[in-house]
Structure 1
């Protein structure tokens, strides 16, 4: 907002100077025309030139404001990177691979509200766990995911990754341990394999296995249906076995039978840590899993 205000002020000053200069030039060249020193066509040429100059000044001012706007972002990135490098030696184990997540008496409420979304929430997630977040629509399931990823900070309680409090972790540390599979994952202008690997060093046979198990078709992903794109998003997450995977309605556009099949395939490996949100109860039928019940704020 500050930079937008500056840009507006610069634009007003530039426009004012443009008008004043145009009037001065018209007056000066008009006198020269009456004196027979220059032709009438020269007035038009001078006005065109002055307009281009001030237009260029306006463009330069917008670029300067845009550059200044990126400075705080660059400083923040540098700060995060610096903290990450500083903590590299002591937090190597934290940042390498997900082992467990622990909530201790965690509660959250938005600042604009006096009511807690959830409170006294206690649970632990480890490698091999498959957990469903249960509760009616609007109870706070997606909010819980945002607290887990660090997008939101808990109002009370403690959260631990690999036995380390999130208070002693950077956002980058946490992002190396957790990933999200949203309802609408982005598809890049690339092949199926490229959309799954995203440039990561992933063994080709691992990608091929996921393509077969999730029944991802061949062809251009840009022309895939919603359900087929969701399969790519799921495969994209499953190539990383060292992260906690949060699935937020990530199979909602896939038919129930296929969704069950895929979830059973994932569960049988016992090598992923998955927390799942779904509004289709049948989706998890016959899939062994535990429950985080937000209506009771504890784990069963």
Structure 2
């Protein structure tokens, strides 16, 4: 799993980078909304609380109130033609324009002085006396003990910073009007610019989301592709021992359903789970200085409690779901494969009931988990809505007290929703993660399964023993078995000769075949192919030397041609026709309109059992191996075809060694050697004539099938 993720590390980091970009842009939108309300609507487009342009009279008065030398920061603009073009508000006199950045201390001093000057302008007592506000009257008023100026300063210093800013902005708006600046135009310009920025930012976010979705979807798809390939490759390397540990239905579920669960989980992680903490932490940073963070903390605590409670109930159930899916797949596969037998025994009703029980168990468990997890979304929405109501309630009090603006409250709600939505995204993880984790563990079980049969080396063949097969003191018992299935087998099959193996059911005939092709390893002794122990050969080298025809004929979906080329891609049409003739399959293939292109269904269900078996024989012949192994492959053929196929094999494959496992004495009696098995031991080895005279087991089998005259 780690290696797969390392392979796509670049794509992963690209997704993370895009998520950071998306989060940055998403976090910027509430700021724009807040500014549109605060600045664009409430402040009529006035952005800063520091006055940036003022009349010469205002300049002189504020300069008399502040300790800052305003000449350092403000530039006097006189009424000239050039300046009028640049500064449209130059009408009745000189204007002072802010020209540089202010230090924080100077900003505070100018802000305070602006507000004090605003107070003096709007003081009712001064207005009634008709006093002109100028540096002289300002000095008198601020220093006189009879004007209660100290009381005003005390109340001024107790004001919240936001209130001070609002006083200053109100004064700046009035000053703009005195300068002849159209506040409506200023407001509309600000709203238009801010709105345009939000539209562009939203379009950019859309592009980032599309890119993130594409890359994350492709990444998850490629990881799923690699996992399926690794699982299939691993399963292909399994011996019979490993297959006994994993049911076929379970392997199908693992390579399809389980990997799909992992793919969906990875997609969600890349798109939502990684994004959730980024946007959540970012939103928290944005609102950390607002004195309502406790509301958000309360909401987060409620969400965490909800997720923990639901997981405690749901997690144990998710572990059972995959096992029930395996069970359902097993029943469906068993029913489809065994349908003829089910019908023959009139067991349709019982099989339907068995499927219905497995299906009902899965349905009930899925309904339980889905109902449980379906509570999460409405409960999360309830928490979010209650949080918003609480923010409105508390925020309204702050607005009424003048310590918060409406736009700030709007931004706070947006950021709060982003934090809660991030937890909602993480809660989705809690729904999918349990099943995905179980699926990951099931995939790991397959990938980490150590093969009992391993390739160690690939020694060269002994050229003097090509086509030779030898068993030396071979004994075998299954990995989980206590008793030997085969004991002390010793025989040698020279090149070009035919060895027939016969015995009663369960005597170990097919086990010998599995040992030759190394589907199992011998427990004791050794098997030599072309003079080399099969354990010292690679699987590919060994199995290219052996043309195997299994007991149950197996064809693959495709055409007759594709099945004949299964072991030899470079097969010519002439070679295919020769193989078909050897297997006595040429006539029935050529009778079909499509010929070699005749379509074959999965498992070869659209041809008869005998035809399927002959095509399997033709496929083995097409490989042109040094050794043929026929595992009761003639049982589906009639006696005439059986004899014809064996005659053709002796004629066209004369130099190849042939191992024939059979039940019919007629099939084996012409072999160069016949190996008779009885309960896993050699009961006899020799020609038909020798065994008929000297082997009691062979004679009993022979007489049970043929008369003495036929055997003679």
Question: In the alignment, does 2:386 pair up with 1:31?
Answer: yes
2:560 is aligned, of 179, 182, 192, to 192
Retained in 2: the 8 A contact 1:94–1:161? no
- For each residue in 1:69-116, what CA deviation from the matched residue of structure 2 results, as whole angstroms up to 9, or x when unmatched? 55436x96xx84xx45xx4xxx23369x95211112222234555543
- For each residue in 1:241-265, what CA deviation from the matched residue of structure 2 results, as whole angstroms up to 9, or x when unmatched? 3342211121222212111111111
Equivalent residue number for residue 105 of structure 1: 473
Retained in 2: the 8 A contact 1:247–1:275? yes
- For each residue in 1:145-201, what CA deviation from the matched residue of structure 2 results, as whole angstroms up to 9, or x when unmatched? 122222222232232222223343344443333342112232222221221112522
Equivalent residue number for residue 299 of structure 1: 685
Measure the CA separation in 1 of the matches of 2:532 and 2:429.
Answer: 59
Equivalent residue number for residue 229 of structure 1: 612
Measure the CA separation in 2 of the matches of 1:205 and 1:52.
Answer: 61
Retained in 2: the 8 A contact 1:14–1:54? no
Say which is worse superposed, 62-71 or 254-263, in terms of deviation: 62-71
Q: How far has the Cα of 1:134 moved from its partner?
A: 1.6
Retained in 2: the 8 A contact 1:263–1:284? no
- For each residue in 1:121-150, what CA deviation from the matched residue of structure 2 results, as whole angstroms up to 9, or x when unmatched? 211123311111021111111112122222
Bigger fraction of residues in strand: 1
User: What are the residue-to-residue correspondences of 1:251-270 with 2, within 5 Å?
Assistant: 251-269=634-652, 270=654
Measure the CA separation in 1 of the matches of 2:637 and 2:556.
Answer: 20
Retained in 1: the 8 A contact 2:547–2:629? yes
Measure the CA separation in 2 of the matches of 1:19 and 1:284.
Answer: 68
Retained in 2: the 8 A contact 1:14–1:57? no
1:147 is aligned, of 507, 515, 522, to 515
1:203 is aligned, of 572, 591, 594, to 572
Q: Return closer, same or farther for 1:274/1:50 CA change in 2, 3 Å cut-off.
A: same
Bigger fraction of residues in helix: 2
TM-score by length of 1: 0.73
Q: How far has the Cα of 1:289 moved from its partner?
A: 3.5
Structure 2 counterpart SS, 1:116? coil
Measure the CA separation in 1 of the matches of 2:500 and 2:656.
Answer: 14
1:276 is aligned, of 643, 647, 660, to 660
Q: How far has the Cα of 1:292 moved from its partner?
A: 1.1
Measure the CA separation in 1 of the matches of 2:488 and 2:316.
Answer: 57
Q: Return closer, same or farther for 1:61/1:178 CA change in 2, 3 Å cut-off.
A: same
Say which is worse superposed, 290-299 or 12-21, in terms of deviation: 12-21
Greater C-alpha radius of gyration: 2
Retained in 1: the 8 A contact 2:547–2:621? no
RMSD: 4.1
Q: Return closer, same or farther for 1:32/1:158 CA change in 2, 3 Å cut-off.
A: closer
**Residues matched between the structures, number:** 278
Q: Unmatched 5+ residue regions in structure 2?
A: 1-244, 246-253, 255-260, 262-310, 319-368, 393-412, 590-597, 687-712
Measure the CA separation in 1 of the matches of 2:667 and 2:529.
Answer: 29
- For each residue in 1:19-65, what CA deviation from the matched residue of structure 2 results, as whole angstroms up to 9, or x when unmatched? 89558515514635876969xxx9xxx89978766555467546644
Measure the CA separation in 1 of the matches of 2:507 and 2:630.
Answer: 17
Question: In the alignment, does 2:451 pair up with 1:72?
Answer: no
Say which is worse superposed, 171-180 or 137-146, in terms of deviation: 171-180
Structure 1 counterpart SS, 2:623? coil
Q: Return closer, same or farther for 1:242/1:59 CA change in 2, 3 Å cut-off.
A: same
Question: In the alignment, does 2:623 pair up with 1:240?
Answer: yes
Structure 2 counterpart SS, 1:260? helix
Question: In the alignment, does 2:215 pair up with 1:215?
Answer: no
Higher relative contact order structure (alpha carbons within 8 Å, sequence separation ≥ 6): 1
Retained in 1: the 8 A contact 2:467–2:656? no
Q: Return closer, same or farther for 1:193/1:102 CA change in 2, 3 Å cut-off.
A: same
1:124 is aligned, of 474, 488, 492, to 492
Retained in 1: the 8 A contact 2:527–2:533? yes
Say which is worse superposed, 249-258 or 55-64, in terms of deviation: 55-64
Retained in 1: the 8 A contact 2:668–2:674? no
Measure the CA separation in 2 of the matches of 1:58 and 1:281.
Answer: 59
